[in-house]
C-alpha cells in the first residue's frame, strides 16, 4: 500500500509542487492528473470486479488532490478507462489511443474550462 501511495499520491504532489512556479507564470498552464473510475466513491462502475484497495484508495486520494489544487492553473483529472497497457497485461477493453482522448481534451482546455474536476469520456465523475 505504501508503494502505491508513494507513486499515485506523494509522487504526484512532489512533481506538481515542483512545477507550480512555472505553471503560474504560463498563460496556458495546465495540470492533468491521470486517475481512474476506481477512485470514485459513488460511480456505479467503480466497484465492478475485484478492486484493489491500495490502487482504488490512492486514486480516491488523487481525485481529492485534484479538487484541492483547483485554485492553481487549470487542474483536472482524466480517467482513461480500462485501456490495454502493460499495467494490465494488455487485457484492457480500450486502446491506448481511446484512453488518451480525455487526457488530451483536458490538457488543451480553454481558459473558461473546468478546474478541480475528474472526467471519464467527457462526463464529470461523482466523487
Residue 52's CB is within 10 A of a number of other CB atoms, namely: 13
For residue 80, what is its C-alpha cell? 482513461
**59 catalytic residue (yes or no):** yes
Task: Choose, from 59, 69, 74, 117, the residue flagged as catalytic.
Answer: 59
Task: Choose, from 5, 55, 74, 117, the residue flagged as catalytic.
Answer: 55
**55 catalytic residue (yes or no):** yes
For residue 13, what is its C-alpha cell? 504532489
**Residue 43 CB partners (closer than 8 Å, separation 6+):** 37, 120, 125, 126
Please name the helix (run of DSSP H) or strand (run of DSSP E) that holds residue 30, with its range, or none.
strand 30-34
The residues with which 94 forms a beta bridge, in sequence order, are 83
Catalytically active residues are 55, 59
Amino acid at each position: 500500500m505504501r508503494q502505491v501511495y508513494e507513486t499515485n499520491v506523494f509522487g504526484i504532489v512532489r512533481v506538481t509542487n515542483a512545477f507550480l512556479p512555472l505553471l503560474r507564470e504560463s498563460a496556458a498552464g495546465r495540470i492533468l492528473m491521470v486517475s481512474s473510475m476506481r477512485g470514485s466513491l459513488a460511480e456505479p462502475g467503480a466497484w465492478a470486479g475485484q478492486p484493489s484497495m491500495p490502487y482504488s484508495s490512492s486514486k480516491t486520494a488523487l481525485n481529492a488532490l485534484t479538487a484541492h489544487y483547483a485554485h492553481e492553473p487549470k487542474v483536472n483529472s482524466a480517467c482513461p478507462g480500462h485501456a490495454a497497457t502493460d499495467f494490465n497485461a494488455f487485457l484492457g477493453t480500450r486502446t491506448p489511443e481511446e484512453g488518451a482522448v480525455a487526457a488530451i481534451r483536458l490538457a488543451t482546455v480553454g481558459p473558461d474550462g473546468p478546474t478541480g474536476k475528474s472526467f471519464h469520456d467527457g462526463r464529470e465523475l461523482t466523487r
